[in-house]
Amino acid sequence: MSGRTTKMLRAVLSVLHCTGADRLAAPFTGCDGVIFMLHQVVPGARRGFEPNGILKVTPEFLDGVIRQVRDSGFEIVSLDDVKERLSAASKSQKPFAVFTLDDGYKDNRDFAYPVFKRHNAPFTIYVPTAYADGHGELWWLALEEALRRLSHVDIDGVARSYSLATDAEKNAAFHDIYWWLRKIPENRARGVVRDLAAKAGFEVSALCRELVMDWDEIRALAEDPLVTIAAHTINHFALAKLRPEDARREMIDSIARVAKELGKPVRHFSYPYGDEGSAGPREFEIARDLGIETAVTTRKGLIRMAHADAMTALPRLSLNGDYQDARYVKVLLSGLPFALRDGVKSVLRPLSGGLRSEAPLALKYPASASTR
């Protein structure tokens, strides 16, 4: 989401909360469930140049969200329970909430897990297998680190040159380069970041070993039945940018690998980046062909019973740093911002098309800077 869109949405959410409009509208917009998306959970405030800081929330914020979700009448369930909850036979009257974390950061174990454990709340971590192997590329963090270290950058072969004397210049350069990389072919984009990291004096995959859990650590965490481990491709490529056979291979092999490492079947999948340019009907079909029970995008939206026909194209609600304010979570849970954006009629309209449409019942937001 652009900075301007984020600011607008924050302003709307703030007004809705202050006026109590979220409570008044709840009967019209209420949902059957919600899947929350998190990335890093770390203590302390963001400061200075940290463009990926939007992916971080504090343990205290997570604690507050869990309390608020339960206070709002939601039941926190495992991803394994979602299929049953969306079946006609489901007996539950309460809406459900699911917590998911992408990429497998060590901080999920160190700071998020104790919070979930304290609340006896289940959660799922989606792991890219190359990351757990220690040779994956957290390229967005590598780009940040390279720009932090350098005072000027020229990108080889293209007319892109940036002065990096101040945090403002570094931020502007990050966003410009980030969105350019998101558009160009994956292998080329990774090569650009590798070159920048080399110029800045570090190796991209070193970040992976520093920040992401390895298989032994993942297995140890997964011994707790509150924890579900699921697949997130091998290399964290935007699948829709790949050739069909390569996209399929990223999905099949990662699912098989996580199953082998954990010693049990993998039932869930998360599309890297998860926006329209990264996962679409082709990927939704592949996930369904592979027998995946749920697959999540980063399209914003709440879950309704109609999603039973679109289980491999589920929307999520991001709990990223831009919304690190408990008031926003309360308003988002009411579903009102989605109704306002789409028009209440379209939110209430019965769905058709299932997987043929793009992430049905999800908002058509632009690709967000807070999805990885």
Q: Which residues make up the interface to Zn ion (CB under 5 A)?
A: 102-103, 272, 372
Distance CA 278, CA 242 (A): 9
Mode of pairing for the β-strands spanning 268-270 and 152-155: unpaired
Q: Chain-centre distance of CA 157, in angstroms?
A: 32
- Please state the closest distance from residue 134 (CB atom) to Zn ion, in A: 17
Four-point Cα dihedral 216, 254, 124, 348, nearest 10: 180
- Please state the closest distance from residue 82 (CB atom) to Zn ion, in A: 20
Beta bridge partners of 41: 57
| Identity of residue 278 | S
- Please state the closest distance from residue 202 (CB atom) to Zn ion, in A: 21
Contact between residue 38 and residue 100 where contact means Cβ atoms under 8 Å apart: yes
Distance CA 192, CA 181 (A): 8
Cβ-based nearer residue to Zn ion, 174 or 237: 237
Cβ-based nearer residue to Zn ion, 13 or 141: 141
Cβ-based nearer residue to Zn ion, 316 or 330: 316
φ, ψ for residue 36, nearest 5 deg: -85, 145
Tokens 């999905």 identify what position? 251
- Please state the closest distance from residue 233 (CB atom) to Zn ion, in A: 8
Cβ-based nearer residue to Zn ion, 25 or 238: 238
Cβ-based nearer residue to Zn ion, 86 or 112: 112
Q: Give me the residue whose beta carbon is nearest to Zn ion.
A: 102
Closest residue by Cα to residue 147 from 82, 220, 202, 196: 196
- Please state the closest distance from residue 253 (CB atom) to Zn ion, in A: 17
- Please state the closest distance from residue 149 (CB atom) to Zn ion, in A: 24
The two tokens of residue 182 are 């998101």
Q: Classify 299 as helix, strand or coil.
A: strand
Tokens 């980046």 identify what position? 273
Cβ-based nearer residue to Zn ion, 103 or 283: 103
- Please state the closest distance from residue 269 (CB atom) to Zn ion, in A: 12
Distance CA 24, CA 340 (A): 13
Closest residue by Cα to residue 302 from 289, 285, 315: 315
Distance CA 210, CA 174 (A): 22
Cβ-based nearer residue to Zn ion, 109 or 372: 372
- Please state the closest distance from residue 270 (CB atom) to Zn ion, in A: 7
Cβ-based nearer residue to Zn ion, 75 or 217: 217
The two tokens of residue 60 are 């205290």
